[in-house]
């Protein structure tokens, strides 16, 4: 009986030891799976001359944008145009009812007729006096008086003519015409409104938009950068992005930069000019100007391939032993927000790890899987705003 129990005990112990050995064998194999080298997509970079745009919001104005004010006081009798209508230079826009100017015109015209009659009478008196002087019927004093009266009559005629000319001018102000060809703006005053030269709003605005100005502002730092790089040269073409994100089909040029800094905003005002043959752009439109800039010998990588530590930007590069190494880089953002332009920290032929970088650390071995730049979505999304030329 005791012999049977010993056999059972030995069998039980053997079973436990077998389980333990099996467990140990399994534990020894697990690290083999944990040490397997994983695949990581990488991009082999090459230097490029990268042209990109710096964008600024702009306000559009016609090259001639003239506010129309009345020069005399009167009631609006007729509005001869409508908002948005195209008018030619000299075309009538408004008629004002100002009876006093018409009366002044008639009165001054009558005064001319009276003055002409006085001149005629004075001339007759001079002619009558001359023969009487020769026959010594009258004295020379009377002839001199007649000649003085003629001179005074002629002066009165000239004054009457000047008054008539002035009255014509004033009466002409009752008809308000377009000073330039262009488009009519808003019409805040209606028929019957009493207006004068001191009204708070103009009667309307006439905008000549065959060419338009694009106004924008840049800060002092940007001004210095642009000046060094020649971005603000009027030799450079600039582009315009419309509110629907389509490009305006005409290129423009920088025309002027303000001569001093605005003390309130600390910025420079810049004006560009664009041809507008189809009258697509109107005064008051908003748009975005795109200023070209070239960065030479730079590299383009997706922003997702980077990470930040204490304000620095880093990537993982793959060395000859297929190990990754953290490397600090200097970057410039692109307009898309999906990619970086690297200006320092990379060299031709470096392999940049594109994905899964949160699980990496320097010295870790990976299996690089090459990816073409043309297959990276983040880089494709900026092709409309960044153009690259291989060195």
Find the CATH number of the domain harbouring 151: 1.10.287.470
In this structure, the answer to whether residues 308 and 337 fall within a common structural domain is yes
The answer to whether 328 and 314 have CB atoms below 8 angstroms apart is: yes
Q: Quick one: 246 exposed, middle or buried, by C-beta within 10 A (0-12, 13-18, 19+)?
A: exposed
Residue 201 lies inside a defined structural domain of this protein:
no
Q: Is the pLDDT of residue 380 over 90?
A: no
Residue 242 lies inside a defined structural domain of this protein:
yes
Last residue of a domain, one of 243, 271, 294: 294
Q: Is the pLDDT of residue 10 over 90?
A: no
Last residue of a domain, one of 294, 328, 352: 294
In this structure, the answer to whether residues 106 and 219 fall within a common structural domain is no
In this structure, the answer to whether residues 303 and 280 fall within a common structural domain is no
pLDDT, greater one: 91 or 48: 91
Taking the model in full, what pTM does it have? 0.63
pLDDT, greater one: 179 or 13: 179
In this structure, the answer to whether residues 106 and 93 fall within a common structural domain is no
In this structure, the answer to whether residues 168 and 178 fall within a common structural domain is no
Residue 270 lies inside a defined structural domain of this protein:
yes
Q: Which two tokens stand for residue 281?
A: 């752009």
What is the spatial distance between Cα 326 and Cα 202, in angstroms, rounded to a whole number? Answer: 65
Residue 139 lies inside a defined structural domain of this protein:
yes
Q: Is the pLDDT of residue 14 over 70?
A: no
Q: CATH number for the domain including 84?
A: 2.40.50.100
In which band, very low, low, confident or very high, does the pLDDT at 359 lie, cut at 50, 70 and 90?
Answer: confident
List phi, psi (to 5°) of 123: -65, -40
Domain count within the chain: 4
User: How far is residue 321 from each of residues 317, 324, 369, measured CA to CA in Å?
Assistant: 11, 9, 14
Residue 329 lies inside a defined structural domain of this protein:
yes
Residue 26 lies inside a defined structural domain of this protein:
no
Mean per-residue pLDDT over the chain, rounded: 84
In this structure, the answer to whether residues 286 and 212 fall within a common structural domain is yes
User: How far is residue 244 from each of residues 55, 99, 273, measured CA to CA in Å?
Assistant: 15, 51, 20
What is the spatial distance between Cα 240 and Cα 251, in angstroms, rounded to a whole number? Answer: 7
In this structure, the answer to whether residues 288 and 327 fall within a common structural domain is no
Q: CATH number for the domain including 347?
A: 2.40.420.20
Residue 359 lies inside a defined structural domain of this protein:
yes
In this structure, the answer to whether residues 343 and 374 fall within a common structural domain is yes
Q: Which domain holds residue 382?
A: 39-49+296-390
Residue 6 lies inside a defined structural domain of this protein:
no
pLDDT tens-digit readout, 327-358: 999 998 877 778 899 999 999 999 999 988 98
pLDDT tens-digit readout, 200-248: 999 999 999 999 999 999 999 889 888 887 888 877 899 999 999 899 9
């Amino acid at each position: 009986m005791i012999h049977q129990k010993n056999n059972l005990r030995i069998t039980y112990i053997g079973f436990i030891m077998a389980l333990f050995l099996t467990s140990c064998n399994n534990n020894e194999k697990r690290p083999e799976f944990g040490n397997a080298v994983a695949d990581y997509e990488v991009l082999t970079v090459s230097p490029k001359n990268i042209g990109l745009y710096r964008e600024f919001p702009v306000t559009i104005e016609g090259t001639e944008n003239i506010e129309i004010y009345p020069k005399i006081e009167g009631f609006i009798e007729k509005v001869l145009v409508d908002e948005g209508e195209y008018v030619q230079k000299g075309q009538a826009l408004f008629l004002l009812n100002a009876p006093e100017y018409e009366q002044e015109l008639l009165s001054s015209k009558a005064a001319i007729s009276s003055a002409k009659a006085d001149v005629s009478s004075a001339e007759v008196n001079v002619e009558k006096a001359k023969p009487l002087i020769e026959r010594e019927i009258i004295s020379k004093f009377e002839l001199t008086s007649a000649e003085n009266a003629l001179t005074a009559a002629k002066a009165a005629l000239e004054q009457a003519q000047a008054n008539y000319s002035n009255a014509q001018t004033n009466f002409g102000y009752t008809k308000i015409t377009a000073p330039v060809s262009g488009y009519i703006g808003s019409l805040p005053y209606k028929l019957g409104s009493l207006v004068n030269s001191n009204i708070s709003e103009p009667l309307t605005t006439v905008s000549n938009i065959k060419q338009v100005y694009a106004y924008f502002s840049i800060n002092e730092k940007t001004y210095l950068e642009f000046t060094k790089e020649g971005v603000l040269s009027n030799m450079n073409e600039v582009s315009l992005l419309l509110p629907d994100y389509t490009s305006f089909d005409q290129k423009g040029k920088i025309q002027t930069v303000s001569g001093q800094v605005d003390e309130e905003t600390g910025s420079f005002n810049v004006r560009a000019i664009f041809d507008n043959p189809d009258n697509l752009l109107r005064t008051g439109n908003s748009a975005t100007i795109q200023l070209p800039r070239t960065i030479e010998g730079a590299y383009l990588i997706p922003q997702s391939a980077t990470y930040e530590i204490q304000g620095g930007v880093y990537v993982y590069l793959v060395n000859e032993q297929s190990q990754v190494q953290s490397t600090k880089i200097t970057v410039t953002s692109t307009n898309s927000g999906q990619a970086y332009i690297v200006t320092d920290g990379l060299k031709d032929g470096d392999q940049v790890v594109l994905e899964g970088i949160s699980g990496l650390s320097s010295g870790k071995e990976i299996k690089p899987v090459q990816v073409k730049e043309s297959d990276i979505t983040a880089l494709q999304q900026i092709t409309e705003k960044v153009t690259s030329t291989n060195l």
